[in-house]
Every structure is written in C-alpha cells, then in structure tokens.
C-alpha cells in the first residue's frame, strides 16, 4: 500500500467512523428533548424514563464522537499538511466557529447528563435545547468547510498561491447551502430510523410495552419527517453538483457521453475502458430532468474531461445508487406510517409496518456513508476541486500504513465496545406496573400521540 493510498484510507476510515457519532450527536438531543418536553407537559412518567434512557445512550455516543472528532482535526495536518498550509487561512473560519459550537454542546451536555437533580426542570430542558441547537451548528460549520473543498470560493489565485482571501465568501461558497441542508436532514432521518428500528424490534416481542410505543412514536415523527424532506434537499444537491462539479455528476450517474435528453441509469456497471455503462435500466431524459429540471438539457459526460481527472466511477456510481435507494425506501416507509396514522389517528403498529421499520434501522446510516463516499471519492483526484490535487497535499512522512492500521484496529475495538454497551442498555426494557400500563394505553386511544 503506497503512502497516498494509506493516508486516504486513514482519512476515509476516520470520517466513516466519526460521521455515525456526529450524526447521532446532531439528532439524538432533539429526541431526548422531545421526550422531556412531553414529560413536562403530560407528566407521564414514561416520557421521563425515556428521556433518561436516551440520554445515557447519547452520553456514550457523544463521547466517542468527541474524541474521534479531535483525531480528525489533527489528521487534517498529520496527513494533509500542504492542504492546511494552503487552505487554513481561507477555510479555518468555520472550524473556529465549530469550536465554539462544540464548546456549547459539551458544556450543556454535561449539565444535561449530570444535572437532573441540580437545576429546575425548565432549566434542564433548556440545557437540552442548547445541546440540540449547538449540535446542529457544529455539523453545519464542518460541512461548510467540506463544501468549500467541492466549490472553492473566497480567494484569487496568483502564481498558484491564494491571494485576496475573503473567509466570509469562502463560507458562503456555492455548495454550502445544499450540502449543509442535505447532511442535517440526513442526520435526523438516519438517527430517527435507527432509534425507531430498535424500539420497533422490542415492541414486536412485547406489544403492550408503553415505553417502546412512546419511543417509537417520537423517533418515527422526527425520522419520518426528515426522510420525507430529504428528496427535496437531494434535488438541490444534485443540481448544485450538476452545475459546479460536472465530472462528479457524470461519475455518480455513470454517464460517459455528452448528450441532450440524457437518460438516467439505474444500476449497471460502468466500464471505463469502453466508455459505457452495462446492464443498467435507462430512463430516457431522466438525468437531464433531474440535474437541470429540463428534459432536453445537455448533460456533459465523462468523455469531456481528461482521463486523469476522473474519479473512480464504479465506486461513486455504486455508492450513489445505494444512497438514493436507501433514501427512497425510508421515504416510502415514512409515507406508509404517515398515511396509517392519518387514517387511524394511532401509532402505526401493524406487524408488517414494524417489520419494515426494523429492516430500515441501518438504512439511514448506510445512506450517510454512501453519500459521503459520493462526495469525497467523487471529488478525486482533487482535494480542493480544480485547485489542489490530493497527492500534492500529502505529508512527506513515510510508512503511513502504520497509523492507518493502528487507528483501524482502535476504531474496530471502540465500535465493538459501543455496540456491546448499547446492547446492554437496550436489552433491559423498562416496564411500568400493569395498572399504569393499562390506564396509559387507554388514555392513548383518546389522545393524539406524538
């Protein structure tokens, strides 16, 4: 394994690991706060139990997210010092703001987790809201920096060096809005579905358990709403890519030939040598319609770009299909749940629906991983699109396979431990006394839940 590949692998592995915890760190506080807010309004004990249980899970996941995020902030320099030297002044700003958002998040999470008995219920809920808000901001700032790598702005080039640096313009780069929107919604959808899946699984074995019913309702409302919105932000993202990174669009669609009324390829294997995508289902005009909202639009194919500027089309195309596929399934399940609720005014809890929710549990996280693969691999060979190649940013340090293997083993160990600890937390489902359970279930029939 050469050093460039080792460094890219280490970065990819670190990001793939961190993004799970980051996404949960964005969305989980909202679930917690929703449960606590419902407790304060209804005074039903079950909501308080739920908020405390979710808080425990969040504590474990947030800690791993915090330390793996620290690793990433150093890895930017450890692996890509030339990139940081070049871009730090232009794009360091959102990272600095993220620092403050992260501070707020950590401070108020400490208050939230350890302060149940120490501050008033209202102040406690407010602390939770601060965590939820600053979590979103943290994510937004980091994604803004990534968006800049895709659509660099806020500087001019003079002899290959950046001049007239404008950090605000860099933050307002053309990809910033679509990427931050897409990622934030993805975090809610993925976390909501993951949580809903866990509680749906428990509910299938223990149908009357009020704890899991309430949990499922909250997770489905948040995850489902996000899953239904995601296609809209996906459309915004796709059109931004079409405009600003045409070669990435061509790769993710496995689109080789420039043509008007370009077809949408579903599935298929891109063959780079022959310049065509085999075994794909082609929908005439579909790509033109999706990328430019015009069925006759001309879409540039890979053939227009030098071969050494193509990303790996197989990986990018496959990852894109996976992301869209997962997202579509999640949106369908969300729609199913919404229709069922609309018709019965009850928590959708049919056997098939619960089964679908269980199956969908990992889909959001898979979609996030696939989406980041599209964004990052799709930008290659560039680290800053059109400005700096990834190879040029690499540290002169050799033997990078050693840290890559070390961090991989470390993260595998951490992942195993997190799964084990969460499994323990989930396995012990709380039960209310039978009387209360029955009364609460009856009450639910009359009231509108979630």
Partner 1 sequence: MSAELLAAGAMIVALTFYALLGGADYGGGVWDLFAAGERASKQRALIADAIGPVWEANHVWLILVVVILFTGFPPAFAGIATALHIPLTLMLIGVVLRGAAFTFRTYDVQRDDAQRRWSYVFSVASIFTPILLGLTLGAIASGAIKIENGQVAGGFVRSWLAPFPLAVGCFALALFAFLAAVYLTLETNDTALQDDFRKRALAAGVVVGGLALLVFLLSGAGAPSVRAGLTRSVWAWPLHAATALCAVGAFWSLWRRAYRWARWCAAGQVALILWGWALAQFPYIVEPDITIHSAAAPHATLRLLVVALGLGALLLFPSFYYLFRIFKSK
111-117: long-range pairs with CB below 8 Å, 24+: 112/29, 112/32, 112/55, 113/55, 113/58, 113/59, 116/52
CB of 429 to partner 1, least distance (A): 17
Number of shown-chain residues binding partner 1 (CB under 8 A)? 65
Asked if residue 95 binds partner 1 (CB under 8 A), the reply is yes
What distance in Å separates the CA atoms of residue 450 and residue 365, rounded to the nearest whole number? Answer: 24
State the binding string over 154-173 for partner 1 (x if CB under 8 A, else -): ---------x-xxxx-----
What distance in Å separates the CA atoms of residue 3 and residue 9, rounded to the nearest whole number? Answer: 10
What distance in Å separates the CA atoms of residue 176 and residue 198, rounded to the nearest whole number? Answer: 33
Task: Pick the closer one to partner 1 by CB: 338 or 414.
Answer: 414
Asked if residue 410 binds partner 1 (CB under 8 A), the reply is yes
What distance in Å separates the CA atoms of residue 396 and residue 87, rounded to the nearest whole number? Answer: 18
Asked if residue 414 binds partner 1 (CB under 8 A), the reply is yes
What distance in Å separates the CA atoms of residue 199 and residue 120, rounded to the nearest whole number? Answer: 29
- Select the residue interacting with partner 1 from 22, 51, 97, 144 (CB under 8 A): 97
Asked if residue 64 binds partner 1 (CB under 8 A), the reply is yes
Of 63-71, 214-222, 255-263, 367-375, the window that binds partner 1 (rule: CB under 8 A) is 63-71
With beta carbons less than 8 A apart as the criterion, state whether 391 and 381 touch.
yes
Token pair belonging to 39:
């407790």
Asked if residue 2 binds partner 1 (CB under 8 A), the reply is no
Asked if residue 88 binds partner 1 (CB under 8 A), the reply is yes
Which parts of 339-358 interact with partner 1 (CB under 8 A)?
none
State the binding string over 196-235 for partner 1 (x if CB under 8 A, else -): ----------------------------------------
CB of 409 to partner 1, least distance (A): 10
Token pair belonging to 326:
């997962």
Asked if residue 370 binds partner 1 (CB under 8 A), the reply is no
Residue with tokens 């949580």: 195
CB of 111 to partner 1, least distance (A): 6
**Distance between first and last Cα of the chain:** 52
Asked if residue 149 binds partner 1 (CB under 8 A), the reply is no
- Select the residue interacting with partner 1 from 1, 2, 5, 96 (CB under 8 A): 96
Secondary structure of 367-420 in the HEC alphabet?
HHHHHHHHHHHCCCCEEECCCEEHHHHCCCCCCCHHHHHHHHHHHHHHHHHHHH
- Select the residue interacting with partner 1 from 122, 274, 307, 396 (CB under 8 A): 396
**What single string gives the DSSP state of each residue in 146-176?**
HHHHHS--S-EEETTEEES--HHHHHT-TTH
Of 249-257, 291-299, 367-375, 409-417, the window that binds partner 1 (rule: CB under 8 A) is 409-417
Asked if residue 102 binds partner 1 (CB under 8 A), the reply is yes
Asked if residue 419 binds partner 1 (CB under 8 A), the reply is no
Asked if residue 260 binds partner 1 (CB under 8 A), the reply is no
Asked if residue 86 binds partner 1 (CB under 8 A), the reply is yes
- Select the residue interacting with partner 1 from 33, 51, 87, 189 (CB under 8 A): 87
DSSP 3-state assignment of 361? coil
Task: Pick the closer one to partner 1 by CB: 66 or 366.
Answer: 66
What distance in Å separates the CA atoms of residue 321 and residue 60, rounded to the nearest whole number? Answer: 32
Of the candidates 8, 24, 15, the residue with the CA atom closest to the CA atom of residue 372: 15
Q: How many residues make up the chain in this entry?
A: 450
Q: Which residues are near partner 1 by CB under 8 A?
A: 56, 59-60, 62-64, 66-71, 73-74, 76-78, 81-82, 84-90, 92-93, 95-100, 102-104, 106-111, 113-115, 118-119, 163, 165-168, 395-397, 403, 406-407, 410, 414, 417, 421, 424-425
């Amino acid at each position: 394994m050469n050093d460039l590949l080792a460094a890219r692998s280490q970065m990819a592995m670190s990001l793939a690991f961190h993004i799970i915890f980051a996404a949960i760190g964005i969305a989980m506080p909202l679930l917690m706060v929703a449960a606590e807010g419902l407790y304060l309004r209804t005074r039903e004990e079950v909501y308080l139990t739920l908020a405390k249980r979710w808080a425990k899970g969040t504590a474990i996941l947030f800690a791993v997210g915090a330390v793996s995020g620290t690793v990433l902030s150093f890895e930017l320099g450890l692996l890509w010092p030339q990139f940081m030297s070049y871009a730090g002044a232009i794009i360091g700003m959102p990272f600095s703001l993220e620092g403050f958002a992260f501070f707020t998040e950590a401070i108020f999470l400490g208050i939230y987790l350890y302060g149940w008995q120490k501050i008033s219920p209202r102040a406690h809920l407010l602390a939770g809201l601060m965590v939820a808000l600053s979590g979103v901001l943290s994510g937004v700032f980091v994604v803004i920096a990534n968006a800049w790598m895709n659509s660099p702005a806020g500087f001019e080039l003079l002899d290959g060096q950046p001049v007239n640096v404008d950090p605000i313009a860099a933050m307002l780069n053309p990809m910033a809005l679509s990427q931050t929107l897409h990622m934030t919604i993805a975090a809610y959808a993925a976390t909501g579905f993951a949580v809903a899946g866990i509680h749906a699984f428990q509910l299938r074995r223990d149908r009357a358990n009020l704890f899991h019913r309430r949990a499922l309702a909250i997770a489905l409302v948040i995850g489902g709403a996000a899953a239904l919105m995601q296609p809209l932000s996906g459309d915004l993202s796709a059109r931004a890519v079409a405009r600003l990174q045409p070669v990435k669009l061509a790769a993710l669609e496995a689109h080789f030939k420039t043509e008007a009324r370009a077809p949408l390829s579903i599935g298929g294997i891109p063959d780079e040598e022959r310049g065509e995508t085999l075994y794909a289902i082609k929908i005439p005009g579909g790509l033109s319609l999706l990328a430019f909202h015009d069925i006759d639009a001309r879409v540039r194919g890979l053939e227009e770009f030098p071969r050494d500027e193509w990303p790996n089309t197989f990986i990018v195309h496959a990852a894109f299909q996976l992301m869209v596929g997962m997202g579509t399934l999640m949106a369908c399940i969300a729609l199913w749940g919404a229709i069922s609720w609309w018709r019965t005014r009850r928590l959708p809890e049919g056997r098939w629906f619960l089964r679908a929710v269980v199956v969908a549990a990992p889909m959001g996280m898979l979609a996030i991983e696939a989406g980041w693969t599209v964004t990052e691999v799709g930008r290659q060979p560039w680290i800053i699109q059109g400005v700096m190649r990834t190879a040029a940013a690499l540290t002169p340090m050799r033997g990078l396979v050693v840290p890559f293997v070390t961090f991989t083993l470390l993260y595998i160990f951490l992942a195993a431990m997190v799964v084990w600890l969460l499994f323990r937390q989930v396995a012990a489902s709380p039960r209310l006394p039978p009387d209360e359970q029955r009364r609460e279930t009856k009450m639910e029939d009359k009231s509108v839940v979630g």
